[in-house]
Structures are given as C-alpha cells and as structure tokens.
C-alpha cells in the first residue's frame, strides 16, 4: 500500500497538552513529531519541554523524573536539567559539570488554554507567534468547551477537509456544496477561507458565513456568523504524533447570550460531524499525486499551500 509515501512532519506550533491539565511540579511523558519528550510545569508555573533521554546513561526523564524548582531531576542519578535551556545545573555527587551535559530544550508557549511546542525539521527557531484569541478572555463569551480526538492519519490529510467542499455534501450530508473563497496573507503562510450558506435555525433562516483561518498546517479557527447578535467560535490545534497518527484539540466558545441554545447546537454539530469523517480518515491512504478533476481547484490550492511547511530533517 501507499502507507509509507506519506509526507514528513510539517513545521509549526503544535499543542501538546491542555494548560489546565498540568499543575506546578507535574511531569508528563509526551511523544510528538516522532520524538520522546518530557513536559513539566516548574514551581513558578512555567510549562517546559525537554528531549526525554538523559545525556548521562540515557534514562527517560519523564519516568520518575521530578521537578526541582525550575529544573527537572533525572530519576537515575539525580542530575538536574534547567527547563529553560536544557543545561545540566547540578550533579549532586560531583563538583564539575561536563559542558556537554545538556538536553534539547524545545520552544514552548502557553496560550488559549493550550501548551504549544515549536517543531522545525531543521531545528530552526520559531519565526511567528501563536495568536492570542480574544474570545477566550472576553467576558461576553462562554468558558471554552474542549474536545480532543486521536486519528490514525497523517495530519495533512485531516486538514485537507477544510478545502474539500464536496465532502461536506457527501460525508456530512450538508444540503449543498457551499461556495468557498480563499485568501492568503503573511507571506502566504496564513490562509483565510470563507463559505456562505443559507441555514435554518430555531431563530429563523439566515445567510450564514463560515470563516476559517489557518495560521499554519494544524492551527486553525472556525467562526460561524449570520445569526444576529450571536457569535460561535472554535480554535483548534492538530498535532502530529508521527507520520501516521494525529491528535486534534478544539476549544469552542459562544457568546453568553445564546450559549445554551445556538452555542450548544453548534458545539454538538461540529463534534458529532467529526464522527462522519472518522471512517474515511481512519481507513484512507495518502495520495501524494491524486487524480484531480476540474472542480478540485481548492484541493489543488491546498496541496500547493502546504508545501511551504515541509523541510528536510537534519540528522
């Protein structure tokens, strides 16, 4: 089968945990981008991510490692690594610390209720920031409702749904294929897509627009507008575990005035909609060179857009 012809791991910021799941002093083993890592929260509350294996004798720092102040202590011989830069700061039974006693420190940012890690195949530093989503701190909007799903698929194939209007009609049995327009910004990295449709709601029939922003392959938002005075918003981060498995985390919010009605219906609609996709996603193969028909213009655009996120890994 084509199982091995999948693309690599695209470059970008990826959520690896919910911020509220990690208390100060907590240590978590995580595996993303085909890398073993340790995630922990320091005593002052900073989320940190280091490569997992101790440079000494190779113990996994998350398997019994402990947070000590701003660093993590290896479970094997108690060497301590600073969470900010991965440098060994203490060997309890030795005065001199070898200069190469250091693990890789990953760039981490906590935002929108999620802990993000920067991945770049060439290990280049981040060159853009995770956006701060205003809705999550706006008192007019509800507490975020969260949703998480793991799917055995390459993340690119999952993201491709966004520019696949035909599947909405076939898979999700939407009434008709919505008209979709796309625009690119910020050197072409940022993509904005919008579709219009007419929808019946308990409050009447409205001309709705579905706005989808993508900051990279794997970070996007969906905003539905058209019901007067009602806001519906979802932010998502989709992270590659490896080239065949993906985790997607969604944070959804609605304006408080209609969160119990339009909001709940919308949250339910998008989370149950994913069930329809699962059978396709969980069983498809990746086609590096699909046969496209004339009407597949958006899919062709998508495939062109994603290319910028890949680079050759260094080793």
Contact status: 34 vs Fe ion (CB under 5 A): no
Long-range contacts of 127-133 (CB under 8 A, 24+ apart): 128/186, 128/189, 128/215, 128/216, 130/13, 130/215, 130/219, 131/215, 133/221, 133/233, 133/235
Task: Output 91 or 280, the one with its CB closest to Fe ion.
Answer: 280
- Binding part of the chain for ligand FES, among 31-39, 70-78, 138-146, 266-274 by CB under 6 A, reads 70-78
220 binds, among Fe ion, ligand FES, none (CB under 5 to 8 A by kind): none
Q: CB 287: neighbour CB atoms within 10 A?
A: 12
Looking at residue 314, the DSSP 8-state letter turns out to be P
57 binds, among Fe ion, ligand FES, none (CB under 5 to 8 A by kind): ligand FES
- Binding part of the chain for ligand FES, among 71-79, 180-188, 214-222, 258-266 by CB under 6 A, reads 71-79
54 binds, among Fe ion, ligand FES, none (CB under 5 to 8 A by kind): ligand FES
In the beta sheet, which residues pair with residue 221? 213, 235
Contact status: 94 vs ligand FES (CB under 6 A): no
> Nearest 5°: phi and psi at 115?
-105, 120
Specify whether the CB–CB gap between 86 and 50 falls below 8 A.
Answer: yes
Q: CB 315: neighbour CB atoms within 10 A?
A: 4
Task: Output 142 or 220, the one with its CB closest to Fe ion.
Answer: 220
Q: Shortest Cβ distance from residue 288 to Fe ion (Å)?
A: 21
Measure CA of the first residue to CA of the last residue in the chain; give whole Å: 28
- Binding part of the chain for ligand FES, among 53-61, 208-216, 280-288, 296-304 by CB under 6 A, reads 53-61
3-state secondary structure of 131: coil
From candidates 29, 59, 121, 270, binder to ligand FES by CB under 6 A: 59
Q: Shortest Cβ distance from residue 161 to Fe ion (Å)?
A: 4
Applying CB under 6 A, the residues found at the interface with ligand FES are 54, 56-59, 74, 76-77, 79
Applying CB under 5 A, the residues found at the interface with Fe ion are 161, 277
């Amino acid at each position: 089968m084509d199982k091995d012809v999948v693309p690599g791991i695209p470059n970008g910021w990826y959520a690896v945990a919910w911020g509220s799941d990690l208390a100060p002093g907590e240590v978590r083993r995580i595996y993303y981008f085909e890398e073993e890592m340790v995630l922990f929260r320091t005593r002052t509350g900073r989320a940190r991510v280091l490569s997992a294996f101790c440079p000494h004798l190779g113990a996994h720092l998350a398997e019994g490692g402990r947070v000590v102040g701003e660093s993590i202590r290896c479970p094997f011989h108690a060497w301590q690594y600073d969470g900010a830069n991965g440098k060994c700061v203490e060997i309890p039974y030795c005065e001199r610390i070898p200069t190469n006693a250091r693990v890789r420190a990953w760039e981490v940012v906590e935002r929108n209720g999620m802990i993000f890690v920067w991945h770049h195949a060439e290990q280049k530093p981040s060159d853009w920031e995770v956006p701060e989503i205003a809705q999550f701190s706006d008192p007019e909007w509800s507490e975020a409702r969260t949703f998480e799903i793991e799917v055995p698929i390459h993340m690119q194939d999952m993201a491709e749904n966004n520019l696949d209007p035909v599947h909405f009609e076939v898979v999700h049995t939407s009434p008709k294929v919505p008209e979709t327009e796309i625009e690119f910004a910020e050197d072409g990295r940022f993509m904005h897509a919008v579709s219009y449709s007419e929808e019946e709601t308990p409050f009447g029939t409205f001309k709705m627009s579905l706005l989808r922003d993508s900051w990279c392959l794997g970070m996007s938002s969906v905003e539905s507008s058209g019901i007067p005075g009602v806001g519906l918003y979802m932010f998502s981060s989709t992270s590659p575990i490896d080239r065949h498995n993906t985790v997607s985390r969604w944070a959804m919010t609605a304006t408080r005035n209609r969160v119990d009605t339009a909001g709940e219906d919308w949250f339910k609609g998008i989370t149950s909609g994913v069930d329809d996709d699962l059978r396709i996603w969980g069983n498809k193969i990746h086609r590096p060179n699909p046969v496209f028909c004339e009407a597949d213009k958006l899919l062709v655009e998508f495939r062109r857009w994603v290319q910028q996120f890949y680079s050759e890994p260094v080793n």
